[in-house]
Amino acid sequence: MLEGGIQMKKIVWIYSVNLKDMGLYGNSTTMPLKQAQKFQETIKTNLPSDVTVDFISYDTSSTEIPKADLIVYNDIDSRYLSVDLKNNGIVIPFKDMISNNTREIEKKILLAIK
């Protein structure tokens, strides 16, 4: 909890997927490392201070749903995720990620996390 009683909000962003912790796959892995790091840092920096973002690689053999106020994943990699997991999150267009359209992504996240 932040000063003034503001409740922290946690976002888990499924940035890549894997199978039993072996080899990453999915479209986010096609983004050059420097671009991916910059994208992630921009998202973290531009969201309000009461919002934390954890970028993860999700094991698709798992049935566990990450503990978070909001789960984020991209539209192309959504085919690897269970219906239950998708029902607990929001989908972001991969084209917005690769084109660094962080403003639209941030708007969508802020609307969903209210």
- Domain ranges in the chain are 8-113
The whole-model pTM stands at 0.87
Name the average pLDDT for the chain.
Answer: 89
User: 112 pLDDT exceeds 70?
Assistant: yes
Q: Domain 8-113 adopts which CATH fold?
A: Rossmann fold (3.40.50)
Per-residue pLDDT of 62-86, as tens digits, reads: 999 999 999 999 999 999 999 999 9
Of 76, 83, 71, the closest CA to residue 108 belongs to 71
Distance CA 14, CA 26 (A): 10
Tokens of residue 50, six digits: 């009461």
Q: How far apart are the first and last CA of the chain?
A: 16
